[in-house]
Chain A
Amino acid sequence: MTDILPFLKSLLSTPGLSGYEDSAADLIAARWAPLVHKISRGKLGSLHGLRHGSGKGPHPSVMIATHMDAIGLMVTGIVDGFLRITQVGGVDPRVLPGTLVTVYATRAGQRSIPGVVVLPPGRLLPPDIGINPVPLEYLFVDSGLPPQRVADQVNIGDIVSYAQSPLELSGETLAGHSLDNRASVAALTVCLEELHSRSHLWDVWAVATAQEEIGLSGAIGSTFELHPSLAIAVDVTFAKGPGASDWRTSPLGKGPTLCMGPNIHPALFKAVQSLADKLEIPYGLEYAPRHTGTDGFAIQVIAEGIPTLVMGIPLRYMHTPVEVVAMKDIQRAGRLLAEFVAGLQPDFMEKITWDN
């Protein structure tokens, strides 16, 4: 089994914010190129990699979607050299003070400027804010540079990403920003590597979607364009940890999760679950009474509707710069995906019935 850690760490070191995914897409395309027969980009920037099924076509297709975009910040104004910011995707302002960031400035050529998110002292803020959490609009990014330099180099609209480098923690876990959802991209890559040395009858679309954090846009466009027969969305899910222990959380390091609920086709769920049991791949169960909060929610209702499965990779501290994931869970998810795809028979769609 290839070590997916170096690839994952390289992904975590590139911004690839929602709407600005090119740097991530290029890295993923390079890694997938030897593993797929065709690579293309969707209209909104999603990366599509196609593996043909063996034998004469046409083949039914399964789409595995993992979003490659990351949350971050964007410059909305420049005041005396300090940058006002807004969020790209869901950011909890309470984790921002003191966070190291990189400003991808574009006004005087492309420059990466190191900076830090700043919590102004209470006396410089409206009186009712005081020692309470400070909303995002009152925070700044400070690069320390003299104001004229900042005005010359930074544009409104420039993106700002977390600068936390990936850290290997004990127990084969990895900490870093944008493991949501680069961990799943890594799992999909593990799946492609495994499929590369096996035969499979179905076509496989490996899709690194764009703009998931901003309304699932990439998944909507790509699913409509590729029109698969089946879809699996892989995204990170909540791992048990400090402040997170209720029914919505799953243990870290005990395998990926299989989600059940209205967003998931029950027969598809059963098929993947039986396979995991048979192969003794550990997994957890996740319950989504309504939407799953993933690309899967959009994919299921494209065109005529698509039987969808949602697989989760447990992750601590989601949407902070120090998300934590277990490498084993990534490997297991990749393997389970590959085994499922390799085992798909031409008549599987007829087996997707509603009532047994």
Chain B
Amino acid sequence: MPTIGNAQIKLLEKLCNASAVSGDEGQVRRIVLEELDGHAQDIRVDALGNVLAHCRGSGVKRLRVMLSAHMDEVGMMLVEDEGDGLFRFEIVGNIDVRQLPGKAVLVGKENLPGVIGARPIHLTTTEELKHNIPLEDLRIDIGPGGGKVKPGDRAVFATRFQRNGPVLIAKALDDRFGIATLLELVKNSLPNIDLLAAFTVQEEIGLRGAKVAAFTFEPDLGIAVDATPSYDLPDWEAEENISYNTKLGLGPAIYIGDSATLYDPRLVRWMADTSKASGIPCQFRQPGSGGTDAGAIHRSRAGIPSLTISVPHRYSHTAASVARLDDWKNTFALLHAALTRLTPTVLAAERA
């Protein structure tokens, strides 16, 4: 029975430590291509940079199942060289500007170290302290020697992956969790389905890679494998936190609806039933905001029944996300178990 072990954790570490800002996913694409080699037929890179791979099954009446995970992460782009090693920059994707000051970053293809400093508190007035430091006032500083970076280069948080017992702390768990999970599924692909693996680009800036990948694949159903936020922190007033989205420790999160997709209830049931039958824990993500590649997939061509299943993690889109290893292990296990018992009868009844 395939499972997430040390080799898979090592691969996740490699993926999290690589830099792949939306539109510039090369470092992760390289790792994905290396890992796929020998495990899939038809591996190709499309016009946007998506990696598409086809694992043909062997049974009759196989469902064509598209699984999608995005290679890109939120980050920054240098936009102006002010000399003395200081660069103006813009945000690529969604990052709360309050998360930027005081962070170390890696810039450009060579991962040159830099810092996003802030004006010392001693030189800041009490009035200024009441306001966030605006993006226009922040700079990436690579040191006065200058270097081989220039406007257009991307920058990511410099956080290195670490594991402390049951806890994983890293940047870009969204969505390296999905990438690592999808790679493991390809390596253990099942004969009862045609697994169409899409390692997509530019999810963070509008689900753009998934849109074209879905059109190319024309699958029978689509599953996005992503990482979703957990806001399971104490409420200040110490009342119950009623908007936690998902919680760490409760296993993979099955989506019912987000702001981009109302998920196919047949697929939701299929996943929930698998959980019950197999004893692998799962939780339901609170409906509401957010979106995944499924948002683009389910609207492709004449429509594609879709689902998202995600690993819960805290502090998405910040320098350091926090997650539990068990939640990732269970996400892979549940997906694999569900795909094992997937037959066309899942979609036999009308969508209801």
Task: Give the interface of A toward B (CB within 8 A).
Answer: 79-80, 82, 90-92, 94-100, 113-116, 118-121, 123-126, 131-134, 138, 140, 142-146, 164, 167-173, 175, 238, 241-244, 246, 248-249, 252-253, 293, 316-324, 326
Contact = CB atoms under 8 A, between A and B. Distances in A.
Interface string B215-252: 00000000000000001011111000101000011000
Interface stretch (B56-64, B186-194, B313-321): B313-321
B331 interface: no
B130 interface: yes
Nearest to A120: B233
Contacts of A324: 115, 117, 141, 143
B124 interface: yes
Nearest to B116: A322
A114 B164 contact: yes
B167 interface: yes
Contacts of B236: 120, 124-126, 138
A193 B132 CA distance: 44
Contact of B120 (A114, A121, A132, A317): A317
A116 B121 CA distance: 21
B165 A170 contact: no
B235 A124 contact: yes
Contact of A119 (B98, B114, B117): B98
A244 B120 contact: yes
Contact of B165 (A94, A145, A242, A253): A145
Given A126-B236, A133-B129, A244-B120, A317 B314 contact: no
Given A133-B98, A145-B167, A79 B234 contact: yes
B101 interface: yes
Contacts of B315: 98, 116, 118, 142
A121 B231 contact: yes
A169 B234 contact: no
Interface of B: 85-86, 96, 98-99, 101-104, 112-124, 129-133, 137-139, 141-147, 157-159, 162, 164-169, 231, 233-237, 241, 243, 248-249, 314-315, 318-320, 322-324
A120 B99 CA distance: 12
A295 to B, nearest CB: 15
Nearest to A169: B143
Contacts of A171: 85, 143-146
A80 B315 CA distance: 17
Closest 9 CB pairs of A and B: A171-B145, A169-B143, A317-B117, A170-B145, A95-B102, A243-B119, A144-B167, A322-B115, A318-B120
A96 B129 CA distance: 13
A23 to B, nearest CB: 20
Given A133-B98, A133-B131, A114 B122 contact: no
Nearest to B133: A94
B143 A100 contact: no
Contact of A164 (B104, B118, B167): B104
Contact of B115 (A114, A121, A175): A175
Contact of A98 (B145, B167, B319): B319
Given A142-B322, A144-B169, A123 B98 contact: no
Contacts of B104: 164, 167, 175, 321-322
Contacts of B167: 114, 143-145
A322 B117 CA distance: 6
B319 to A, nearest CB: 4
A175 B117 CA distance: 10
A95 B118 contact: yes
Given A99-B102, A114-B162, 13 more contacts: A79-B234, A92-B129, A100-B320, A116-B320, A118-B315, A132-B132, A142-B322, A146-B249, A169-B142, A170-B142, A171-B85, A238-B120, A322-B103
